[in-house]
Structure 1
Amino acid sequence: MTAEVLNRRSVRGVTALRGGRRWRPTPYQVFGLAFWLLMTLAFWRVPPCCDAGQHAAAVERLRAGLPDAGFSSPYVLAQGALARLTGLSGWAVLRVCGPLNLLVLLSGVGRFVRALTPRAWAPVLALVFLTVLWGTERAWGAGYLALMPMTGVLGYPSACALGLTFWAWALTAARARDTRPVRFVGPSGLRGFTGYAALGVLYGAVALLDPVTGVGAAAGAVACVAGWQRGRCAAVAGRWALTGVVAVLVAAWRPYSAGDFAQGLPGGLLGCCWLALLGLPALWLRARRSSWRDPLVLLTVLECLAVAYGRLGALLGLALAGPQLALAVELAAARPWPVWRRALGWSAAGGACLGLLTVQAGAVVPRSLDPVGFAQPPRWPSYDWAAGYLRPGEVVLADGSHALRTLPGYGVTAADARAYLSPAATRAQRTAILRRGRVRWLLLTRGRRMPADAVVVAWSRRTGEVLARVGTGPNATARPTAATTR
């Protein structure tokens, strides 16, 4: 053998001996990462809203070793364990869990869209439409689960449950289509029972985190199986029955009450979802092509039935996800486009531009920039200005709904101040209320007259709320600043 053969260099571009092509990120991985970074920064900047104070209070009680019956779910128990191990406060734990929930949600959406179509840009368009084609600023709230850039509630269990729902639908689609390679199969040529049981555990976990989202996840599972499963033999039915039984057994670990499901329907239904209806033409096209057996069509129908029958407003976002996903899949098709698809694309682009704008206090501001702080300040106030004066376990009387729902997150007990502030209440009755409830603080909204025996210690420049010391106790050394609210 000659020296030239021994010293021959490998030719560039040959991949047969190097393991194939180099990895390149998909469009959704690039845009999804940018979206995750933007919303994480917004989440850390915007004060938590809605029921975030109650969630933070539940974590605080678990960190202190106290039982919590209001939010007894595995998610909150895990947050309490994290708080005890790290020493983080309830608010800090919510700040940590928000980006994690968003990561689960974005990855779940991408995985489910890839189960619908192999088109690379379909997940990107789905993220855009799910973000900007859903109406009001309350869409990210606990009542309406939808992909809106309202970052205040990303730390909620419902956000994690929504992400796991998309993951469960994607895995259900893979099982129903049976497209993944199988190394070992049973005598009937089907997959084993272990994967179906694991899928049932996932659906049960969604119900444990949020029972209403669990109902929507079950409806989506039925839609995926009915739309994609081709084999109708008893062995196939038994495997999916096993998934349902395991899901019910896992979900039964958490005791449910009527309050867990009594969400109600949102007011102004057309006003908060009319932009999402732009995807109905694409959904109708999918229905015609598949003889109404398309999973997105069945998903929309079943979710709408659940919303109407159970008056579960939280499922409205899942019901409207079907048309938006259908629109994303349709517009991700390769060019050239026919006339009807170009018209659909222009209408979707116009709706997306309109969805980026919202009317707040008479001024049109970019909704996408509003959570980051470039527009008006967030509507839900922060009470960090008062938290420095409050100690864990103290009782605060408040007359504002925001304060009553947020202050418990700082480890204090918030109670309604109506009885104390009643014009008919005498001085003796007010003193009795303070002693009976061991009240040390009073937090009143702007314009409310402060009692004569209250000593103002702080006030908010943004909301005009006033924190005052009442009664006697260890806080008696606080320096008074005013006698009435501003």
Structure 2
Amino acid sequence: MSGTLLVRRAVHGATALGGGPRWRPSPYAVFGGLFWLVMSLAFWRVPMCCDFGQHAAVVERLKDDLLHPAHPMADLPGDGSAYYSPYAVLQGLFAQVTDLAGWQVVKVSGPLNLLVLLTGVGRFVRVLTPRPWAPVLALGAMVLLWGTRMAWWSGYLGLMSMTGNLGYPSTFAIGLAFWAWAWAGSLARGPRRRGVGAYVGLGALCGLVLLVHPISSVAAVIGVVAFAASGRKVWAWAATAATAALIASLWPYYSVFSLVGDASVDWIHRQLYSEMPQRFWLALLGLPALWLRFRRDRTDPLVLMFALECAVVAYGWVSGHYTYGRILGLTLVPLQFALAIELAAPRPWGARRGALAGAAALGACVGFFQLQAGAVVPRALDPIGFDQPPRWPDYGWAVGHMRRGDVVLTDGYRPTRSVPAYGVNLVAPAWPDASLDEDVRGRRLAAVRAYLAPDSTRRERAAIAHRYDVRWLLLSPGQKVPREAVVVDWSRRTGEVLARVGGAPRPHRDGAAPMNAPLIG
């Protein structure tokens, strides 16, 4: 009898051969690792689109001059640009050391950002509950329970949106935000005797989030405040706030506090408030779980976080500062995670929890097959015809004729957001930037419109080309080529035409350019 017990005890905590402790990966380590691999591949297969070119352009400018980078998209000074964050500076340094192009660095950053995000999610959920399957369910809810209308924006964590924004600073900042929430939770609910150093460290992390992506830091700070309000030693949190403010104020590239009240990009973000029920209704499945948490504890951090974030989003709508709508993606996190934690509770389940589980499973299926599946199912393997991520055209055919720093005049939506990624400049930047007065950008946009106007004269066009040192025109199929310009190449996919202003064209790589392009002037 004693021999049998001895054998059982030896095998229980040991490997079969070595006798050492047996390590078993947690469910989140397994499923999180698989998710990291699948989403990294999904991100890599999507070509440059949307804001990708902007962030690649930032890396290119820092690669050229790490200490005094130029404007991300124009041949202008870049002093004060909020794009030059600690995250971007590290990317620029990495580009200098490896000699990778800006777009390559952004692509490499995607899996690294996703790793920060996934580890942050796991740590945050473990602070809320020790249940081993809760992080897995939280990850599933976070990427699937959105809505049935596309919600594609930087900082949104649905599967489809992540295929485009994993390489962006917002993803890195949100990953750090989850780590900050986990840190705040451990301070609020840990031992009473915690040195002030822990609060200072949390403040440094919050300051970093503030510099990397200021709008995401709003949600990050809200989460920290929610834990502070639900915890102890409220006075100690002053060290966190002071440290965050100090870290942010010491950054030499731009002043984050100058962005407070800046309305230059509010018009862009107004669309965040459109069709909100269709974009986010599946996340509302978490409301019953959040209500249960509220009934158990009126100061529950997830409840406080959700209430405060809703208040900020509402303020953005009422005040017209629609940029605050950028935190909508993180506003869903308390709903999604409350649902996951409730469903991860050990059995027995009652009828209420069973109904909640059934609704969550149905919602996840609807979210996946209705909207998110195309993110991870390639078209070649797609039996249904899921919506796919955007596949913008590549502008390598055009920039291959240009020199680094050349100025391009174009008003096309896609080229204005793509060609700066290759180290060339635009006459008029596509986006507002703190380093460039909006009146100046407005005059440059007007100059582009005047140049491309069908009734423009050769003298007017020459004056604009001289003023902005224009070397190239990138024209859409419906735009006419000026008589003084020389057609160099064209895109077989989009029909866009590249023309050189003055001088002889360089040899092109993909065959002869069409010589029957329409002319103006």
Residue 154, structure 1, aligned to residue 156, structure 2? no
Partner Cα separation in structure 1 for residue 264 and residue 125 of structure 2:
30
Partner Cα separation in structure 2 for residue 178 and residue 372 of structure 1:
51
Shift of residue 35 of structure 1?
A: 0.9
Partner Cα separation in structure 2 for residue 14 and residue 471 of structure 1:
78
Range moving further from structure 2, 43-52 or 115-124? 43-52
Residues 476 and 497, structure 2, Cα contact 8 Å, conserved in 1: no
Shift of residue 476 of structure 1?
A: 4.6
Aligned AA for 2:500? Answer: V
2:472 to 422, 436, 441: 441
**Which residue number corresponds to residue 183 of structure 1?**
none
Partner Cα separation in structure 2 for residue 383 and residue 484 of structure 1:
19
Residue 221, structure 1, aligned to residue 224, structure 2? yes
Residues 440 and 473, structure 1, Cα contact 8 Å, conserved in 2: no
SS at match of 1:55: helix
| CA shift in 2, pair 1:197/1:378, >3 Å | same
Question: Which string of whole-angstrom CA distances, capped at 9 and with x for unpartnered residues, describes residues 288-336 of structure 1?
Answer: 122x221111110011112222440111111111111011111112233
**Which residue number corresponds to residue 308 of structure 1?**
314
Residues 58 and 76, structure 1, Cα contact 8 Å, conserved in 2: yes
Residues 134 and 276, structure 1, Cα contact 8 Å, conserved in 2: yes
Shift of residue 62 of structure 1?
A: 1.3
Partner Cα separation in structure 2 for residue 16 and residue 48 of structure 1:
50
Residues 46 and 371, structure 1, Cα contact 8 Å, conserved in 2: no
Question: Which string of whole-angstrom CA distances, capped at 9 and with x for unpartnered residues, describes residues 164-221 of structure 1?
Answer: 0000101111111116xxxxxxxxx612111111111011111011111111111111
**Which residue number corresponds to residue 196 of structure 1?**
199
**Which residue number corresponds to residue 299 of structure 1?**
305
Residue 123, structure 1, aligned to residue 126, structure 2? no
Residue 322, structure 1, aligned to residue 334, structure 2? yes
1:337 to 339, 349, 362: 349
**Which residue number corresponds to residue 82 of structure 1?**
94
Residues 27 and 124, structure 1, Cα contact 8 Å, conserved in 2: yes
| CA shift in 2, pair 1:218/1:305, >3 Å | same
Q: How many residues align?
A: 455
**Which residue number corresponds to residue 13 of structure 1?**
11
Shift of residue 99 of structure 1?
A: 0.9
Residues 395 and 438, structure 1, Cα contact 8 Å, conserved in 2: yes
Question: Which string of whole-angstrom CA distances, capped at 9 and with x for unpartnered residues, describes residues 389-442 of structure 1?
Answer: 222111112121121111111111123542221022012222332333332222
Shift of residue 358 of structure 1?
A: 4.0
**Which residue number corresponds to residue 59 of structure 2?**
59
Residues 50 and 153, structure 1, Cα contact 8 Å, conserved in 2: no
| CA shift in 2, pair 1:380/1:16, >3 Å | closer
Partner Cα separation in structure 2 for residue 99 and residue 331 of structure 1:
29
Aligned AA for 1:445? Answer: S
Question: Which string of whole-angstrom CA distances, capped at 9 and with x for unpartnered residues, describes residues 445-481 of structure 1?
Answer: 233333444444433344x141322322363555533
Shift of residue 259 of structure 1?
A: 5.1
Residue 484, structure 1, aligned to residue 509, structure 2? no
Partner Cα separation in structure 2 for residue 93 and residue 208 of structure 1:
20
Partner Cα separation in structure 2 for residue 419 and residue 11 of structure 1:
84
Higher RCO (C-alpha under 8 Å, 6+ residues apart) = 2
SS at match of 2:132: coil
Partner Cα separation in structure 1 for residue 43 and residue 22 of structure 2:
35
**Which residue number corresponds to residue 427 of structure 1?**
458
Residues 125 and 134, structure 2, Cα contact 8 Å, conserved in 1: yes
SS at match of 2:426: strand
Residues 455 and 470, structure 1, Cα contact 8 Å, conserved in 2: yes
Range moving further from structure 2, 384-393 or 276-285? 384-393
SS at match of 1:396: strand
| CA shift in 2, pair 1:385/1:372, >3 Å | farther
Aligned AA for 1:210? Answer: H
Residues 396 and 442, structure 1, Cα contact 8 Å, conserved in 2: yes
Residues 408 and 472, structure 2, Cα contact 8 Å, conserved in 1: yes
SS at match of 1:113: helix
Aligned AA for 1:315? Answer: I
**Which residue number corresponds to residue 250 of structure 1?**
247
SS at match of 2:427: strand
Residues 420 and 430, structure 1, Cα contact 8 Å, conserved in 2: yes
TM-score normalised by structure 2 residue count: 0.80
Aligned AA for 1:284? Answer: W
Larger helix fraction of residues: 2
Aligned AA for 1:481? Answer: P
Partner Cα separation in structure 2 for residue 45 and residue 421 of structure 1:
35
| CA shift in 2, pair 1:366/1:147, >3 Å | closer
Partner Cα separation in structure 2 for residue 146 and residue 347 of structure 1:
21
Structure 2 regions of 5+ residues with no counterpart? 1-6, 70-77, 317-321, 429-447
SS at match of 2:473: strand
Counterparts of residues 377-396 of structure 1 (less than 5 Å): 378-396=390-408
Residues 375 and 389, structure 2, Cα contact 8 Å, conserved in 1: no
Shift of residue 152 of structure 1?
A: 1.8
TM-score normalised by structure 1 residue count: 0.86
Partner Cα separation in structure 2 for residue 221 and residue 251 of structure 1:
17
Question: Which string of whole-angstrom CA distances, capped at 9 and with x for unpartnered residues, describes residues 10-59 of structure 1?
Answer: 99527599886311111111111111111111222212332221221121
Shift of residue 153 of structure 1?
A: 1.9
**Which residue number corresponds to residue 441 of structure 2?**
none
Residues 486 and 502, structure 2, Cα contact 8 Å, conserved in 1: no
2:273 to 254, 257, 266: 266
Aligned AA for 2:467? Answer: R
2:285 to 252, 266, 278: 278
Partner Cα separation in structure 1 for residue 247 and residue 8 of structure 2:
57
**Which residue number corresponds to residue 434 of structure 2?**
none
| CA RMSD after TM alignment | 2.8
Residues 302 and 334, structure 2, Cα contact 8 Å, conserved in 1: yes
Partner Cα separation in structure 2 for residue 10 and residue 121 of structure 1:
28
Question: Which string of whole-angstrom CA distances, capped at 9 and with x for unpartnered residues, describes residues 318-373 of structure 1?
Answer: 111111101111111223321111111111111111111346xxxx9745426999
Residues 227 and 301, structure 2, Cα contact 8 Å, conserved in 1: yes
Structure 1 regions of 5+ residues with no counterpart? 1-8, 180-188
**Which residue number corresponds to residue 467 of structure 1?**
497
SS at match of 1:109: helix
Shift of residue 135 of structure 1?
A: 3.5
Aligned AA for 1:268? Answer: E
Partner Cα separation in structure 2 for residue 339 and residue 82 of structure 1:
55
Range moving further from structure 2, 262-271 or 80-89? 262-271
Aligned AA for 2:499? Answer: R
Residues 60 and 80, structure 1, Cα contact 8 Å, conserved in 2: yes
